[in-house]
């Protein structure tokens, strides 16, 4: 695997493709033409009269061509944690995973809670010139949960939403103000739903934690926080997005709230539908995540929530941690797993297992996150940015974390057999990455 040299942004014809556009339900053989940074045309009968002579031709030999993935929850630990991940390494990992748009959390050091923080990410992303990187602004100063940030100025600088990232906005009064104020600028508030007073443990509270002698985090920590916040949404009318939903009750609550017409959306991460608390095994720190992995009943409920659209989005929740933070006793290990390079195959796993249709699964990682954050991405449309991914949908392979381009290797999916992967990633019409076979 290498990062491919940038191709000049002229006209490129992608022929013999299986066009997939979850936003419109398109799933047909066809072709797509990019012109410069934009999609010029696409469709089943495009090039029926021949490919334009000035276009470079890329024959996809039946592979799928879909909008590039939009990952709305990624921790890039630059500044402050460059040993774990930098903007550059995250961008390379994203490209290798078929992700063309990354939205990063504000939990850096220093926290992204002012305009300079947003501008730092913008500048780094421009310098890297690989995938598109957006940032959230912190909802409260220093993510300390007390004073709200300058949301208007942050929004003007490019913040696509507000969140305290991996920390819950715990104080109900503060959350009410955040929801109320963010509404003015049309940005969603993303909550890490975990009542901190209940979440002092290190894995799901249950039989496994009891056997291992580890402090448990009860599922109620999540459920209570979501229920409380929904009342605040009713009070304020702000757009509330719940990050990484993990329990069956949460799915039920969200389903009912959506039916009542509340302005809410939510996401989950692959580890919550692909793993359970039993994957902690004998203290596997790579399975230590926040919120914790739950039980099989919850895992199934998450899949059901994805299938019926209650859960809008799958985000990788990419949280790079170096060995020093993971090769320690479980209770001392940092929370988090990486996910940029496994987001696509694990999402496709849902389709291969026929739990969710292929287009619905891809909608969770393309148009839906783009719509929630009002990003110009995630769909095939004439005139839209040519941010695309070529997917070999059925190819079987085994996850090898050592081959990841992410600086950290803390994946719980090492050695997992999966099916389907990105083979070419295109951003603004330029191929930024291709998989070299063999």
Partner 1 sequence: MTGTSAPAPSFPHRHLLGIEGLTAAQITQVLDLADGYVEHSRQPERKSDLLRGRTVVNLFFENSTRTRTSFELAGKRLGADVINMEVQASSVKKGETLIDTALTLNAMHLDALVVRHAESGAVKLLSDKVNCAVLNAGDGHHEHPTQALLDALAIRRRLGRLEGLVVAICGDILHSRVARSNIHLLNAMGAHVRVVAPPTLLPRAIDRLGVEVHHTMKTGLKDADIIMMLRLQTERMSGQFVPSIREYFYFYGLDYDKLKVAKPGALIMHPGPMNRGVEIDSEVADDHKRSMVLDQVELGVAVRMAVLDLLTRPARAASAAL
Residues with catalytic roles: 317
437 forms beta bridges with none
Taking the least distance from each CB to partner 1, the nearer of 2 and 328 is 328
E strands present in 224-276 = 240-242, 264-268
Which of 436, 434, 437 minimizes the C-alpha distance to 96? 434
85-102 burial code (b ≥16 CB/10 A, e <16)? bbbbbbbbbbbbbbbbbb
Interaction mask 357-386, partner 1, x per CB under 8 A: ------------------------------
Interface region with partner 1, contact rule CB under 8 A, candidates 158-166, 176-184, 199-207, 304-312: 199-207
Size of the site for partner 1 (CB under 8 A): 21
E strands present in 38-98 = 38-43, 56-59, 64-67, 69-74
204 forms beta bridges with 217
The only residue of 37, 304, 307, 331 in contact with partner 1, by rule CB under 8 A: 331
Q: What residues from 202 to 241 belong to the interface with partner 1 (CB under 8 A)?
A: 205-207, 209-216, 218
Query: Cα separation of 220 and 114, whole Å?
Result: 33
Interaction mask 257-296, partner 1, x per CB under 8 A: -------------------------xx-------------
For residue 21, the SS3 value is strand
Q: What residues from 306 to 325 belong to the interface with partner 1 (CB under 8 A)?
A: 324
Taking the least distance from each CB to partner 1, the nearer of 229 and 298 is 298
Minimum separation from the CB atom of position 218 to partner 1 (A): 7
**163 is written with which tokens?**
């969140």
Taking the least distance from each CB to partner 1, the nearer of 185 and 283 is 283
Contact in structure between 16 and 60 (CB atoms under 8 Å): yes
Minimum separation from the CB atom of position 247 to partner 1 (A): 14
Taking the least distance from each CB to partner 1, the nearer of 230 and 280 is 280
Minimum separation from the CB atom of position 205 to partner 1 (A): 4
Taking the least distance from each CB to partner 1, the nearer of 232 and 289 is 289
Minimum separation from the CB atom of position 199 to partner 1 (A): 14
Minimum separation from the CB atom of position 406 to partner 1 (A): 22
Interface region with partner 1, contact rule CB under 8 A, candidates 30-38, 237-245, 328-336, 408-416: 328-336
Contact in structure between 378 and 368 (CB atoms under 8 Å): yes
Q: Are strands 56-59 and 11-21 parallel, antiparallel or unpaired?
A: parallel
Residue 335 near partner 1 by CB under 8 A: no
Residue 328 near partner 1 by CB under 8 A: yes
Please state, in angstroms and as integers, the Cα–Cα distance from residue 127 to each residue in 87, 109, 340, 365, 407, following that order: 10, 20, 20, 25, 18
Minimum separation from the CB atom of position 290 to partner 1 (A): 18
Minimum separation from the CB atom of position 333 to partner 1 (A): 10
Residue-level length of the chain: 438
Query: Cα separation of 381 and 366, whole Å?
Result: 13
The only residue of 29, 329, 396, 417 in contact with partner 1, by rule CB under 8 A: 329
Supply the DSSP string of 361-373, one letter for each residue: HHHTTTHHHHHHT
Residue 330 near partner 1 by CB under 8 A: yes
Residue 327 near partner 1 by CB under 8 A: yes
75: left (phi over 0), alpha (psi -120 to 50) or beta: beta
Interaction mask 115-154, partner 1, x per CB under 8 A: ----------------------------------------
Tell me how far apart the 2 most distant CA atoms of the chain are, in Å.
69
Residues that bind partner 1 (CB under 8 A): 205-207, 209-216, 218, 282-283, 324, 327-332
């Amino acid at each position: 695997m290498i990062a491919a040299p940038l191709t000049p942004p002229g006209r490129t014809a992608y022929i013999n493709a299986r066009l997939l556009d979850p936003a419109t339900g398109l799933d047909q053989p066809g072709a797509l033409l990019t012109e410069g940074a934009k999609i010029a045309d696409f469709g089943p009968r495009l090039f029926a009269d021949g490919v334009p002579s000035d276009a470079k031709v890329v024959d996809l030999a039946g592979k799928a061509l879909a909008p590039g993935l939009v990952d709305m929850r990624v921790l890039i630990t630059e500044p402050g944690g460059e040993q774990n991940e930098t903007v550059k390494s995250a961008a390379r990992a994203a490209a290798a995973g078929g992700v063309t748009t990354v939205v990063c959390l504000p939990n850096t050091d220093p926290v992204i809670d002012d305009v300079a923080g947003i501008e730092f990410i913008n500048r780094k992303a421009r310098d890297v010139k690989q995938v598109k990187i957006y940032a959230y602004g912190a909802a409260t100063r220093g993510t300390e949960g007390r004073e709200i940030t300058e949301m208007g100025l942050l929004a003007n600088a490019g913040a696509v939403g507000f969140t305290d990232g991996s920390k819950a906005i715990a104080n109900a009064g503060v959350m009410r103000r955040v929801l109320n104020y963010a509404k003015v600028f049309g940005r969603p508030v993303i909550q890490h739903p975990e009542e901190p007073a209940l979440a002092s443990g290190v894995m799901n509270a249950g039989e496994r934690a009891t056997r291992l002698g580890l402090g448990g985090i009860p599922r109620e920590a999540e459920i209570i926080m979501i229920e409380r916040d929904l009342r605040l949404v009713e009070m304020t009318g702000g757009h509330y997005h719940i990050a990484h939903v993990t329990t069956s009750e949460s799915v039920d609550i969200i389903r009912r709230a959506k039916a009542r017409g509340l302005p809410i959306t939510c996401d989950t991460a692959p580890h919550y539908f692909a793993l359970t608390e039993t994957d902690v095994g004998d203290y596997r720190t790579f399975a230590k995540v926040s919120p914790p992995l739950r039980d099989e009943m919850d895992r199934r409920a998450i899949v059901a929530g994805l299938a019926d659209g209650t859960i809008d989005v799958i985000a990788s929740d990419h949280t790079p941690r170096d060995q020093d933070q993971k090769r320690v006793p479980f209770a001392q290990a940092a929370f988090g797993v990486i996910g940029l390079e496994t987001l696509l195959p694990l999402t496709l796993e849902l389709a291969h297992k026929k739990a969710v249709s292929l287009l619905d699964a891809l909608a969770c990682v393309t148009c839906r996150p783009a719509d929630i954050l009002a990003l110009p991405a995630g769909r095939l449309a004439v005139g839209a940015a040519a941010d695309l991914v070529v997917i070999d949908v059925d190819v079987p392979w085994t996850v090898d974390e050592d081959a990841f381009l992410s600086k950290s290797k803390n994946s719980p999916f090492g050695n997992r057999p999966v099916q389907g992967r990105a083979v070419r990633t295109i951003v603004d019409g330029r191929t930024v990455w291709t998989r070299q076979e063999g």
